[in-house]
């Protein structure tokens, strides 16, 4: 019974942190760290637009996204402007090969990204 209670508390805490990060990103603020998972707001640009593979695409280049730690050769992004009508935060996730993009920090509070 204690294990079940601990699992429920852990999932609730992670959901709260994910919702907080989503709200911070949508408001133009940098996200808070959560148990070693770091994220930051960046502007992203493809190095070769024709060869950049984004799942699911397209790659958002006109507004800041949240980028998470690299996972091997892939970069995970969270796009606060994608799927605006959904409450499911996973619908806003994107994956792209790290060697196909360049990132730079987004200006604090900025809601657009200047061209590279």
Give per-residue pLDDT as tens, 101-110.
999 999 888 8
Tens of pLDDT along 39-74?
888 999 999 988 888 888 889 999 999 887 666 788
* pLDDT category of residue 9 using cuts at 50, 70 and 90: very low
> Structure pTM?
0.68
Which residues have a Cβ under 8 Å from the Cβ of 91 and sit 6 or more positions away? Answer: 82, 83
- State the Rg of the chain over Cα: 15
């Amino acid at each position: 019974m204690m294990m079940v209670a601990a699992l429920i508390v852990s999932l609730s805490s992670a959901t709260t942190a994910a919702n907080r990060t989503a709200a911070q990103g949508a408001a133009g603020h940098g996200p808070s760290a959560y148990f070693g998972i770091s994220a930051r707001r960046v502007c992203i640009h493809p190095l070769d637009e024709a060869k950049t593979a984004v799942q699911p695409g397209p790659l958002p280049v006109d507004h800041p996204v949240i980028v998470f730690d690299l996972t091997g050769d892939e970069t995970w992004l969270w796009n606060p402007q994608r799927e605006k009508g959904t409450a499911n935060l996973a619908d806003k996730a994107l994956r792209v090969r790290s060697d196909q993009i360049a990132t730079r920090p987004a200006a604090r509070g900025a809601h657009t990204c200047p061209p590279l």
